[in-house]
Amino acid sequence: MLKLQNISKRYNEKVVLENINLEIELGEIVSLLGPSGSGKTTLLNIILGLTKMDQGSILFNGHDVSYVAMKNRGFNIVFQDYALFPHLNAYDNIVYGLKNKKNLVSEQEIREYIEFLELKPHLKKKIGELSGGQKQRVALARTLVMKPKLLLLDEPLSALDGVIKESIKERIQLIAREFKLTTIIVTHDPEEALTLSDKILIIQNGGISQFGTPQQIIQQPSNEFVKEFILKQLHIKRQNIYQLFGEQYA
Ligand SMILES: Nc1ncnc2c1ncn2[C@@H]1O[C@H](COP(=O)(O)OP(=O)(O)OP(=O)(O)O)[C@@H](O)[C@H]1O
């Protein structure tokens, strides 16, 4: 379980996060959802260990990792732009992080991740020869071979559309189930959060506006902001809501 306790962060006297408390169960997919500038990426980076918090603690499976360096936390992130190496082919990108950690994963396991993400036909291609969805799958494979204890995804679907977006969404859900991998996703898109996650944390101005399952957020929005943000301003497709939660919420 990942437990965030009283996390606060300021930048130049401006409060960016204030007293964030959160518990995420093993294998759960949680979306951090909120408007631009609400503090989502800052919270993701604090969990990763990339950004220092001013106050608070992070517990992972009972261990306090608040002061553990990023590389020793074992939490891995897929950045929004994938950060793949353009001069290497897909396979060399996937195994890049294993250079000094050869014993972390067997050849057989690497092959399984590649099969799982349907990347076999693309292994020899340079990054520039891959589609957006293929790049995203290479980035996911590269992260999975590192056997992360926690998977962090920054806007994983924002560069994708239509069918590709849906297939990556399904992949992310399969990864979380198959590998019992706790997954935290930053998104500003309510529809994405509602259809992808087990739970959603809605952040507004650095504070928690609501934390709950998609059903709870649809059925019992805890305040006007949640109602506006989720249901009205961002125009969630009625059809998707209908399919998920039934006619009365469409
Ligand atoms: N390194 C930094 N130095 C100063 N201010 C920062 C820094 N990083 C973020 N901020 C500020 O903190 C606030 C929250 O930023 P953050 O990137 O966490 O928001 P976000 O919800 O992820 O936004 P977006 O959806 O636009 O990416 C913003 O006001 C931003 O300007």
- Measured from the CB, is residue 45 less than 6 Å from ligand 1? no
Q: What is the ipTM of this complex?
A: 0.97
For residue range 197-230, list pLDDT tens digits in order.
Answer: 999 999 999 999 999 999 999 889 999 999 888 8
For residue range 130-152, list pLDDT tens digits in order.
Answer: 998 899 999 999 999 999 999 99
97 closest CA partner among 138, 134, 42, 133: 138
Q: Which residue among 9, 10, 11 has the greatest number of ligand 1 atoms within 8 angstroms of its CB, and so is best to mutate?
A: 11
211 backbone dihedrals φ, ψ, rounded to 5° = -130, 120
- pTM comes to 0.89
Take atom 31 of ligand 1 and give the residue whose Cα is closest. 37
- Measured from the CB, is residue 16 less than 6 Å from ligand 1? yes
Choices 2.30.29.30, 3.40.50.300, 3.10.310.10, 3.20.20.70: CATH for 2-74+150-249 = 3.40.50.300
Burial class (CB in 10 A: 0-12, 13-18, 19+), 107: exposed
Report whether pLDDT(16) > 90. yes
Q: What is the mean pLDDT of residues 15-43?
A: 95
Domain boundaries, the chain: 2-74+150-249, 86-147
> What atom of ligand 1 comes closest to residue 32's alpha carbon?
21
CA of 187 to the centre of ligand 1 (A): 14
CB of 44 closer than 8 Å to CB of 32: yes
CB of 35 closer than 8 Å to CB of 229: yes
